[in-house]
Structure 1
């Protein structure tokens, strides 16, 4: 080796002084891809990159968000110490001062306004341990019934629909590994290509294997390009399509009579209703052709296996629960559930959208998918927690309804953890008004979000790199996220913050935990015997097995790959079919002369939820730096709107200004705006506060608007 080469390697070795590798898990979508952060110290600065790590779900794949997730976690705007608002400005204080402030304010408010004047607003991005602890914190430390979470805006209708139909909600009834072997796939209102990119290879493999793929979406997307048949229906008409397909299945006798007889109930009533509908009316209502309806029915009915996947497009409607149930009727009528390569998948949006809804953050729920109004469930959890059953609060209200309670004066304080409700909720103007009315608002987050800016006290939380715990992915697989990265500044783990506050409030004996694993051990006991039974899962097993699908009732149980093989979770073991009328929606948004266009919302690949994290990533922000209005060129011409120009979008609830993007991929009567931006670009300002009667889901995917150029 020459002297010159030796000098080169010596210089390189000196520059790269050290390298650290941190095992972690993507903080974004429900695939929960495993990955590693590689950090090199080069001379006086650090250089990071993220790579995928092999696992049963994403098999080492990462999307653009995962590859750049560390950029927000290490951003200079991270909150690194508690901040108190004084005369409209935030000033740093110590943790002791912050806890003292919380104690004084919470105790004074409950003395003046009652225990239920306090409220807790949680998140589907926190770990299972933190979701569990937050529910316990609200009900034991604060003794309030008012707790709900942002998953109410995401998965509520799918969860409620599955519970009503099957008796149990686990997002996927099968594993991802079965998708490539199914023969027909219906993707109803889901754009997985942009929202869960690392799941796409499963569907691409299915297509390679000969599966027929049907996609339903008012827009053409990367997902619809994969489909053999794209149904570009009018927003909010998915129930009509499902009913029309079911009518054809029945008329052509493409149903599974034995399965219906042995494993379902109420088919007779469903059939009687379906026979009253007219296919011409269905086609006109949905804006689709009769030929397309027949094609869906013929392929799905004749193929030996099939799967249906739903997501926000059909779920975020004011009849989202019924919409989900109408598609589940198709599965049950054809017997395509509980069998190899046949089943249902609710494609969860948030990182822990599945696990966070199982262990007590919902207003009506206790850990293990127990119900807070069920006497046996109440007694079991009270015993686990060491409290009297009568001291366990009753059912509260849903996420959006808590803000209505603030306006009414029933709630006067709120603790928000890892969520940004001012951007994510419908009727965002009311949310802002409600938050400003509170006597005391505490926010725990990574950044000074739009919600945190309104707070009286802000607490610095840890990122995914620093916060160890379990999360449950899209298929119901419980996974352990290792987190060994040094904590930034004075930030604390969410679970640690909750334990500290409980200690300050005199309830420390109920929150005596030293680490996340200790909390999980109690969660195991609390979930035992419940529908979402995690009791057989341990950290040791998760490290060895790379994830376990619940229910897992004992440590020698392998986990449950396929649900409902022998029976459903209702007491009689049968699934409940449902009569769903597509004409029964009260106050359904309809286009008028004043509001002549449908508005639908959704994601873009480079951003996540309210964008608070992804907009802090330079690599992601550069891809999509502002909101936009996607509109058909002929529609734009009709309203005098030019490409790349600014346009005012107005509904009955408010207005926003966004830039116009012409696209022939969208229906002429529909416009699309992504929901990752704030203030005058926050599309949720336009969404009505009308809620699904069963799950209290807002109708994000179906508003009516008018457009006007901004000169």
Structure 2
């Protein structure tokens, strides 16, 4: 069995855990441990172990579906389905123009698919209206990272660095349930004598591991970070030499923080002054420390400022761009990082280039063989695109997303989708969104295709095909190739993923996310390569990538920094995960060790101040709702809800509420409870626990129907990242008759 096993990666979260797949009778595979991959070292969560269940023809699509004159989706041939899509897109473009064509992608698409989808939208359709569901993931952290560091990569260091730091502040992440194999890094941190601070309004399984748990009101993380920075200054804990040598803008940021004195922050957040002081002590006393954020602080209408405040805390204490210190974002979706780097995002071209940059347009247009002037400008962000469906945008091509369940104000989004003139969906299952389509195309899955993804560390990985897809199923690359030909573009859309990746390398060359030195061969031999990784002999990447400490082949500065790192088990001056190759750039596991990716190489403080969430509680809606995930389900649940073992563990939605709140409502454990916001009503059983604040309720967002949490959530957008405010909105609770 071992001889026939294919080493590859899990299809779910951004850890992209390594696994081995062995074909078994019935056209599916068996998962086994792959201990050589450093991220998970063989460990897998229940979702990874059961991922092959979705390969079964029992639950997946195996034939195109076309909506009949009677209004039903019925099996059809590929030729009929593709012709129908081409006709639908052509007729809308003829009637309303190219920008009436919308394209919506997913953070689970491989780099090759994401790259091709962006190219397809701009070259074949000529539309600016493309975005993807990664906008709902870490866009606020990306925006804050760009402002502060000049470059956005989820983690600027490998996960293996986390256990070697002195303290971690984990903000708005429940790793124990969202990325269980990653919890070992926090366990190892504590075993090594480090401390863990968890910021979360709920006492989650992750918070139970913490040395200090801070439970602020949802939407007050910005005030909390500013209060900690105030205390850092007041207690004389700033690293003045670091601030002077490696940053700019400190005076304004310090002045903004000093307006947030401890007692004021306590009133806003509910976190006591003694706990604030203890957090500062735990963070500042070790020589090294990190702040890691996730969706909690990011999915807010002030998410960019909130993340910026946590970055300011790192900069003021000298905890960025140094070994085993720094700020990082825990990306959620499997390829959320790579998905936006290469052209799915409304304002970006491949290589993380700006669509408004004339030089970037010229470079990419040359690779694509088109006139730079033919490329449309930036389009709408994800929610704004969905909100425009049926009005400005009359048709939608959707790949790998299920916004009927996952988008904020989901009932409204569903209504907008239903109002389209034409909807085509490519997916592996008949999701709630696909069920509304005019045409549904069944596409290959992770084990049936080869392609690259980029995990939360910026490590580019190769997923390898382990089995042949069932008859009647084609890849997304084949779909775009066929549609491009029908729409008049005969060349430029290959179906071979390695050929696409070779083009992606050229398109990204010299950009901030430079993949030009990465090849499929290297990905196999080296277990992944960290970007930026320019090709050997290339000139230094452009301004977006300069100053990373390893953006060019000459890495003496980074090597010197790494030579002093404490973990060098072989005694050869190298740290695991940082190695060169005889014929190219080694990749960049650790960013910013000598300078940041800004014009002057300095990190930028950005002054921010606390402001309220878009929708504060009032007499009519007196309670705060926050949302999140459970361990046995993933995102909109389109795949995991089709796995019996996972459904047995998490069969449906629930409303988590404090005993005092339950008593006021008169609700007992398991009673149906209605949660009502200004946007709609959801009903789910009560789950009563003292592990949540009395002024807050929690709902997981994996289910459609009556218990759909995103019926309630607020689409108020961050002004910079355009991230909706999933994490905090005002609601009221109502009892429901059984």
Fold in common (TM above 0.5): yes
- How far the C-alpha of 1:47 sits from its partner, in A, is 8.2
Report how far residue 49 of structure 1 moved.
Answer: 3.3
Give the match for residue 560 of structure 2.
none
Q: What is the 5 A alignment of 1:79-90?
A: 79-86=61-68, 87-90=70-73
Q: Is the 8 A contact 1:75 1:616 kept in 2?
A: no
Structure 1 residues 614, 19: CA separation in 2 closer, same or farther (over 3 Å shift)? Answer: farther
CA positional deviation for 1:221: 1.1
- Give the C-alpha shift of residue 689 in structure 1: 1.7
Moved more, 105-114 or 522-531: 105-114
Q: Which position in structure 1 is the counterpart of 2:510? A: 529
> What is aligned with 2:572?
none
Deviations 1:657-704 (A, max 9, x none): 101111111111111100000011110000112111111111111011
CA–CA distance in structure 2, aligned partners of residues 467 and 350 of structure 1: 19
Secondary structure at the counterpart of residue 690 of structure 1: strand
Return the alpha-carbon distance in structure 2 between the equivalents of residues 535 and 19 of structure 1.
32
Residue correspondence of structure 1 range 444-463 to structure 2 within 5 A? 444-463=426-445
Match of 2:664 in 1: 638
Partner of 1:436: 418
Structure-1 separation of matches of 2:495 and 2:112: 12
> 2:702 aligns to what SS in structure 1?
coil
User: Partner of 2:388: helix, strand, or coil?
Assistant: helix
Q: Over residues 508-528 of structure 1, what are the superposed CA-to-partner deviations in whole Å (9 max), with x where a residue is unaligned?
A: 2121x2410000000000000
Q: CA deviation at 1:642?
A: 1.1
Deviation, 1:302, is 2.2
Are 2:194 and 1:211 aligned? Answer: yes
Tell whether 2:345 aligns with 1:393: no
Secondary structure of 1:107's partner?
helix
Tell me the alpha carbon deviations over residues 199-232 of structure 1, each in whole angstroms, 9 at most, x when there is no partner: 1111111100111110000101111111100001
Which SS does the other structure have where 1:187 is aligned? strand
Q: Which residue of 2 aligns with 1:269?
A: 252
Q: How does 1:4-23 map to 2 (within 5 A)?
A: 21-23=5-7
TM-score by length of 2: 0.92
* Structure-1 separation of matches of 2:490 and 2:34: 39
Name the counterpart of 2:137.
154
How far did residue 46 of structure 1 move? 7.5
The residue correspondences of 1:306-455 to structure 2 (distance < 5 A) are: 306-407=289-390, 409-455=391-437
Residue 546 (structure 1) aligns with:
527
Cα displacement (A) at 1:554: 2.1
Deviation for aligned residue 1:348: 0.7
TM-score by length of 1: 0.95
**In the TM superposition, what is the alpha-carbon distance from 1:630 to its structure 2 partner?**
0.7
Q: Does 1:73 align with 2:99?
A: no
* CA deviation profile, 1:277-309 (whole Å, cap 9, x unmatched): 332111110001001111111221222100110
2:116–2:477 Cα contact (<8 Å) kept: yes
Give distance in 2, aligned partners of 1:23 and 1:568: 35
DSSP 3-state at the match of 1:689:
strand
Q: Kindly state the Cα deviation for residue 164 of structure 1 after the two structures are TM-superposed.
A: 1.2
| 8 Å Cα contact 1:648-1:709 kept in structure 2 | yes
Question: 2:719 matched to 1:693?
Answer: yes
3-state SS, counterpart of residue 58 of structure 1: coil
Q: What's the offset of the Cα at 1:59?
A: 1.1
Structure 1 runs of 4+ with >4 Å offset = 45-48
What is the CA–CA distance in structure 1 between the aligned matches of 2:490 and 2:264, rounded to whole Å?
A: 62
Q: Does the 8 A contact of 2:292 with 2:327 survive in 1?
A: yes
1:704 is aligned to 730
Name the CA shift for 1:366/1:81 in 2 (closer, same or farther; >3 Å).
same
Whole-angstrom distance in 2 between the partners of 1:31 and 1:612: 20
The answer for the alignment partner of 1:13 in structure 2 is none
CA distance in 1: counterparts of 2:8 and 2:532, whole angstroms: 24
* Aligned pair partner of 1:607 in 633, 644, 653: 633
Relative distance call for 1:48 and 1:536 in structure 2 (3 A) is: closer
Q: CA deviation at 1:20?
A: 5.6
Alignment partner of 1:187 out of 170, 195, 210: 170
Give the unaligned 5+ runs of structure 1. Answer: 1-15
What is the distance in 1 between the residues matched to 2:642 and 2:336?
22
Partners in 2 of 1:388 and 1:588 — Cα distance?
A: 43
Provide the residue aligned with 1:563 in structure 2.
591
Cα deviation, residue 558, structure 1: 0.8
Query: Among 650, 671, 676, which residue is 2:702 paired with?
Result: 676
Listed as ranges, the matches of 1:55-70 within 5 Å are: 55-70=37-52
What is the CA-CA distance between 1:75 and the residue it aligns to?
Answer: 4.5
1:73·1:464 contact (CA, 8 Å) conserved in 2? no
- Contact 1:600 1:673 (8 Å CA) reproduced: yes
| Aligned mate of 1:105, from 80, 83, 88 | 88
Matches within 5 A, 1:277-316: 277-316=260-299
Query: 2:233 aligns to what?
Result: 250
Q: Residues 634-670 of structure 1, C-alpha deviation per residue, up to 9 Å, x if partnerless?
A: 1101111111111111000000110111111111111
Does the alignment pair 1:28 with 2:12? Answer: yes
User: 2: distance between equivalents of 1:75 and 1:696?
Assistant: 38
2:55 and 2:725 mapped to 1: Cα distance? 32
For 1:123 and 1:572, locate their aligned partners in 2 and report how far apart those are by CA, in whole Å.
Answer: 35
Give distance in 1, aligned partners of 2:689 and 2:86: 54
Aligned-pair Cα RMSD in Å: 1.4
Aligned counterparts of 2:509 and 2:624: Cα–Cα separation in 1: 46
SS in 1 for 2:679: coil
Which has the higher mean CA deviation after the structures are superposed, 648-657 or 252-261? 252-261
1:598 to 581, 603, 624: 624
Q: After superposition, give the CA deviation of every residue in 1:349-388 in whole Å (9 maximum; x if it has no partner).
A: 1011111110000000000000001111111111111000
Superposed CA deviations along residues 118-142 of structure 1, whole A, max 9, x for unmatched, are 0100010010110111100100011
Q: 1:53 aligns with which of 16, 29, 34?
A: 34
3-state SS, counterpart of residue 160 of structure 1: helix
3-state SS of 2:228 partner: helix
Cα offset for 1:19?
Answer: 9.9
Deviations 1:492-513 (A, max 9, x none): 11111111111111112121x2
Q: CA deviation at 1:60?
A: 1.2
- Contact 2:361/2:375, CA 8 A, preserved across alignment: yes
Instruction: Pick which of 695-704 and 23-32 moved more.
Output: 23-32
Confirm or deny that 1:581 pairs with 2:581: no
> CA offsets per residue over residues 261-281 of structure 1, 9 Å max, x none?
121111111112222333211
CA distance in 2 between partners of 1:448 and 1:616 (Å): 11
Give the Cα separation in 1 of the matches to 2:535 and 2:84.
43
Partner SS state of residue 465, structure 1: helix
Residue aligning to 1:221: 204
Question: Secondary structure of 2:600's match?
Answer: coil
Cα offset, 1:48, TM superposition: 5.2
Confirm whether residue 126 of structure 1 aligns to residue 112 of structure 2: no
**1:644/1:659 contact within 8 Å kept:** yes
The residue matched to 1:326 in structure 2 has which SS?
A: helix
Say which SS state the counterpart of residue 219 (structure 1) adopts: coil
Are residues 1:142 and 2:116 paired? no
Structure 2 gaps of 5+ residues are: 537-583
- Cα offset, 1:30, TM superposition: 0.7
